[in-house]
Amino acid sequence: MRAKVLIVVTVALIASLNVRGQDAAPAAAVSSGATDSDEAAVWTPRTLSKFRMPLVANSENGPLVSASCDQISDTLQVLLLKLGARPSDIKVDLRTCYGSSDRSADATFFVLAPPTNDKAAEGPIRAGWETVMMKGDCRFLEMATIKVLPLFTTRNVKRISGDVCARLGVGIFAQVLKSRGGRTAPP
């Protein structure tokens, strides 16, 4: 019974992490989808350490408890994908989660960044700015804005307070550099 409730809570949490380009007051400032012309970007490695989730309820009226290791892994992967991490490179390490009472995970992944003078292993690809609005648990989204979002190439990030999130239902609002597919023409 408890496992079924955990599964339902996990699915509900993951389903609530939707990327939206409309709905709330901040959306009026920037339209959804692509906002600029294409630009060159390269895949850049990132590391996230000790990713934790706020306490979760395992039933409708149950007490708040620490998220399970599987909940942390699943939620983190969905979050990284929604923000534009390259799916084939997301690696979530749960050793610290299973090995101690510190329910956290580490992750490595690749995000798009403007090219630098360094020689990238891969050539530049086409990218553009996309508005990302995410709904869900306000405490989780506030923590994600502080700890995860800075690892991505962003602009126009709006820090949304818990009160505003609860009222509007939007907890993350930013423009993120995302792949538009294909390689750019060589210089």
pLDDT tens track for 66-82: 888 999 999 999 999 99
Q: How many residues does the chain have?
A: 187
pLDDT digits (tens, 9 = 90+) for 115-136: 886 655 677 889 999 999 998 8
| 162 contacts 139 by C-beta, under 8 angstroms | yes
Residues 158-163, mean pLDDT to the nearest whole number: 85
pLDDT digits (tens, 9 = 90+) for 81-102: 999 999 999 999 998 888 777 7
Amino acid identity, position 133: M
Instruction: Please state, rounded to an integer, the average pLDDT across all residues of the chain.
Output: 77
Alpha-helix residue ranges (DSSP H) falling in the chain: 2-16, 69-82, 95-99, 138-147, 162-168
Partners of 46 in beta bridges: 109
User: Among all chains, which residue has been given the structure tokens 């992944």?
Assistant: 109
Binning pLDDT at 50, 70 and 90, where does residue 159 land? confident
Q: What percent of the chain has pLDDT over 90?
A: 38
Residue 89 is part of which domain span? 2-183
The first and second tokens of residue 145, run together, are 């804005």
Q: What are phi and psi of 66, to 5 degrees?
A: -65, 145
How many domains would you assign to the chain?
A: 1
CA distances 159 to 7, 84, 116, Å, are 30, 19, 28
Q: So what's the pLDDT on residue 119?
A: 56
